[in-house]
Copies of this chain bind each other. A is one copy, B any other.
Amino acid sequence: MRERKKQATREALRTAALRLALERGPDNVRVDDIAEAAGVSPRTYNNYFSSREQAIVAAVTADRAAHLAATVAARPADVGLSDAVIDAVVGLYTSSDDHRRDALLMITSNPALRACYVDVVTTIEDPLADAIAERHPEIDLLTAHVLSACVGAAAKVALRQWLRSVSGPATPSGLVVPSGSLPDIIRAALTPLVPALDAAAGS
């Protein structure tokens, strides 16, 4: 029950943060405002989120980690590890919720929020490592963690690439901008990892 209340506070902070940010614009929301809207002291806010942006982004990315782990575990055992992992990660970025639509637009329009959004990818790594280890007990734990970190790193590259293509019109870098949909870019970024994943899985 203690745990219940904590999750409720978390949720309250997330939704309050997102609502205020959408109403006033992300730069016109102080952390004190969020705390007050959630009925909690400003200091408590930082017991739950360690930056002003985290709460806003968390409203959109909540329980990504659990979802990913479940998806990987749910794949039948006869599909390759690489397919299971790639499909699961792509699945995380294929939702087109309606009320998340404008939230994502706001996030992609704000540098600080963008950075935070990319950073959240990190949270999938540990659960993913566990999922890999459970699916393939023959893989040692260090390798599982390395592979998960690589998946996260590749996803980050894809996200940054996509963010550039939607927000940065000028393309000074020599990087080819396929300008495809986010799932396509993610899939492309994860493809170089297929040999590593399948080799570790022994197939």
A residues contacting B by CB (< 8 A) are 140-143, 145-147, 149-150, 152-154, 156-157, 161, 174-176, 188-196, 198-200
Tell me which of B153, B161, B191, B194 contacts A150 (CB under 8 A). Answer: B153
Tell me which of B141, B143, B154 contacts A149 (CB under 8 A). Answer: B154
A199 and B189 form a contact (CB under 8 A): no
B140 and A176 form a contact (CB under 8 A): yes
Bound CA–CA A192/B143 (angstroms): 6
Contact status of A161 and B174, CB under 8 A, knowing A154-B150, A200-B192: no
B199 and A195 form a contact (CB under 8 A): yes
With both chains docked as a complex, state the minimum distance between the C-beta of A23 and any C-beta of chain B, in angstroms. 30
Bound CA–CA A75/B194 (angstroms): 26
Tell me which of B142, B156, B176, B194 contacts A161 (CB under 8 A). Answer: B142
Q: Across the interface, which residues of B come within 8 angstroms of A195, CB to CB? A: 195-196, 198-199
Bound CA–CA A192/B196 (angstroms): 6
Tell me which of B141, B153, B176, B200 contacts A153 (CB under 8 A). Answer: B153
For the A-B complex with A149-B150, A195-B198, A195-B199 known, give 13 more contacts whose Cβ atoms are closer than 8 Å.
A141-B174, A142-B176, A142-B188, A142-B189, A145-B157, A146-B153, A146-B193, A149-B154, A149-B157, A150-B192, A153-B153, A192-B196, A194-B196
